[in-house]
Amino acid sequence: MQDTIRGLIQKNGSKIILLVLDGLGGLPLNGKTELETAATPNLDKLASEGACGLHIPVGQGITPGSGPGHLGLFGYDPLEWEIGRGILEAMGLGLEVKRTDVAVRCNYATIENGIIKDRRAGRPPTEKTAQLTQLLARQIQEIDGVKFIFGAGMEHRFAVVMRFPDALGPDAARVNDSDPQHDGKPPLPLLPGSKKAEKVAAVSEKFIARAAEILKDHAPANFVMMRGFSTHPHMPSFEDAYGLRPLAVASYPMYRGISRLLDMDAPDIEGGFDRQVDYLESRYRDFDYFFLHFKKTDSMGEDGNFAGKVKKIEEADSFIPRLLALKPDVLIVTGDHATPAVMKGHSWHPVPLMLKAPYVLGRTCSRFTERECLKGELGIIKTASIMPLALAQAGRLKKFGA
C-alpha cells in the first residue's frame, strides 16, 4: 500500500501535526477509563468536530513495542519493516543508527577457562557498567576500518553500533548470538549466515577478543557477549515516501531514534513538554510534518498510576490551543499503543484517534474517549492507514486511476 501511496504523492504548502500521547488508550477502573476520567475540554471539542475512530498498530491481540507502534503511525507497516533488537537497544540508549551500521545488544559476562560462569557478570551496578563501557570505548575506536560506538545500559547491558564505510544491506546482520543461553557453556562462535555477513562476523570476533583482553582484570565483568545483530531496516525515508519535510520533536532517545531511522530531523531537546512545543513553534516554517511526542502518559500507565495518567492526559490537553494557533491543515491526536494503568504495561487494544481536518463528517462523538471514538466516522483502522488519511486531508494525494 505504501508503494501505491508513493505513486500518488503531490506536494503543496500544507502542514500536518501528529501529536502522540504515548500509551494513550486505557481500560476502566471503577467503570471509567483514564480518558473518560480526565477533564479534556480541548480534546473533546476537537473530537466532536473532527473525524474519530480507533487504530490497531500491528494486528488484533498483538501488543506493540514502541518501535512498531511508531512505525505504524508514520505509515510503515510494522509487519513489513521489522526493527531488530540491536537497533532498538542502541536507539534506546541514544545512539544514532545509520544505513551503514550494524547494531548489537551486548552484555558483560564472567568467563573462566573459556566457559561462561555467569551470563550477566553478577549484574554489576549501572555505574560500573558505565565505567567499563567508557573503558572499552576509549580503547576500541575502530577495527579493520569499522568504527565502534558504545552506549552503556542498565546492569550488565550495553550496546554497540558498528559503523561500516558503506551500506551493507539487510542480509549483513545474519550473524548468530554469541550467548550460549546457559551458564557453564563456552560462548558460541559468530558464524555468518550470508556472504555479506562475513565481515560483520569477523570484525565482531575481533571485538570480543579485544574486549576480553581489556577486561581481563575486571572479573566478574571480564568478558562480553553479543546478540541481536541488526542492520538499518532500509525502509524509504519519510521524505522519499511522502514528499514531506519531517521534524520529530521528542525528548526521549528511543523516539528520536525511530524518527532518525526514517531520516527525520530529530534534534535533542531538553526540558519538559512545554519546551518541546516551544521548539515546534520556532521551527514551524521550516517543515511540513511535525511528530510531537508526549511521553508521560505511557510512563504513568506502565507504573499502574491511573490518577497520574489522568493528570498527564489533562496536561497534554492544555497544550492543544497552542497547536491550533499554528493553524495546521491536519492535526492528528492519538497514541502509539494503549498502556492501560490497570495492566501496568502496553496492550493490544485499539487506540483512540482524532483527526482535525478540512473534509470530515464530524458530530459523531461527544468526547475524546475509547467508547466515543467507537462511534466515529473512521471506524477501527490499521495504524498505517492514518498517514494516507492525513495526506488525503492535506490535499497531498492525487486520484488513483482516471
Give CA–CA dist 285/345, Å, rounded.
Answer: 37
Out of 48, 63, 176, 299, point to the residue binding a second copy (CB under 8 A): 63
Q: Which segment (93-101, 183-191, 198-206, 369-377) binds a second copy by CB under 8 A?
A: 369-377
Report in angstroms how near the CB of residue 206 gets to a second copy at its nearest. 28
Out of 20, 24, 58, 353, point to the residue binding a second copy (CB under 8 A): 58
Residue 187 or 340: the one with the smaller Cβ distance to a second copy is 340
Out of 23, 50, 68, 301, point to the residue binding a second copy (CB under 8 A): 68
Q: Which segment (15-23, 146-154, 231-239, 393-401) binds a second copy by CB under 8 A?
A: 393-401
Note whether 402 binds a second copy by CB under 8 A: yes
Out of 6, 45, 48, 62, point to the residue binding a second copy (CB under 8 A): 62
Using CA atoms in the order 160, 299, 302, 78, what is the torsion angle rounded to 10 degrees? -60
3-state secondary structure of 17: strand
Cβ neighbours of residue 124 closer than 8 Å, sequence gap 6 or more? 108, 132, 155, 156, 220, 221
Note whether 9 binds a second copy by CB under 8 A: no
**DSSP β-bridge partners for residue 248:** 291
Report in angstroms how near the CB of residue 4 gets to a second copy at its nearest. 6
Out of 119, 295, 349, 367, point to the residue binding a second copy (CB under 8 A): 349
Q: Would you say 261 and 97 are in contact if contact means Cβ atoms under 8 Å apart?
A: yes
Element (H, E) at 201: helix 197-214
Alpha helices in 249-367 (DSSP H): 253-261, 273-282, 296-302, 306-318, 320-325
CA distances from 22 to 251, 269, 299, 340, 345 (A): 12, 17, 8, 11, 12
Out of 41, 59, 125, 189, point to the residue binding a second copy (CB under 8 A): 59
Q: Which segment (113-121, 262-270, 323-331, 360-368) binds a second copy by CB under 8 A?
A: 360-368
Report in angstroms how near the CB of residue 118 gets to a second copy at its nearest. 24
205-241 per-residue burial string, b: 16 or more CB within 10 A, e: under 16 = bebbebbeebbeebebbbbbbbbbbbbbbebeebbeb
Residue 89 or 317: the one with the smaller Cβ distance to a second copy is 89
Note whether 16 binds a second copy by CB under 8 A: no
Note whether 29 binds a second copy by CB under 8 A: no
Cβ neighbours of residue 158 closer than 8 Å, sequence gap 6 or more? 93, 106, 107, 108, 129, 132, 133, 150, 151, 152
User: Nine-digit cell at 126?
Assistant: 549501572
Out of 213, 307, 361, 366, point to the residue binding a second copy (CB under 8 A): 361
Residue 111 or 390: the one with the smaller Cβ distance to a second copy is 390
Question: In the block, which residue shows the cell 570476533?
Answer: 205
Note whether 47 binds a second copy by CB under 8 A: no
Residues numbered 77-96 forming contacts with a second copy, rule: CB under 8 A: 78-79, 82-83, 85, 88-89, 92
Give CA–CA dist 317/296, Å, rounded.
Answer: 13
Question: In the block, which residue shows the cell 557498567?
Answer: 129
CA distances from 7 to 14, 226, 398 (A): 19, 41, 9
Note whether 14 binds a second copy by CB under 8 A: no
Residue 78 or 151: the one with the smaller Cβ distance to a second copy is 78
Strand positions, DSSP E, 176-307: 223-231, 246-249, 289-294
Note whether 188 binds a second copy by CB under 8 A: no
Note whether 31 binds a second copy by CB under 8 A: yes
Q: Would you say 304 and 342 are in contact if contact means Cβ atoms under 8 Å apart?
A: yes
Site string (90-129) toward a second copy, x via CB under 8 A: --x-------------------------------------
Note whether 301 binds a second copy by CB under 8 A: no
Binding site for a second copy (CB under 8 A): 1, 4-5, 8, 27-28, 31, 33, 54, 58-69, 78-79, 82-83, 85, 88-89, 92, 340, 342-343, 346-350, 359-364, 370-371, 374-377, 379-382, 385, 387-393, 397-402
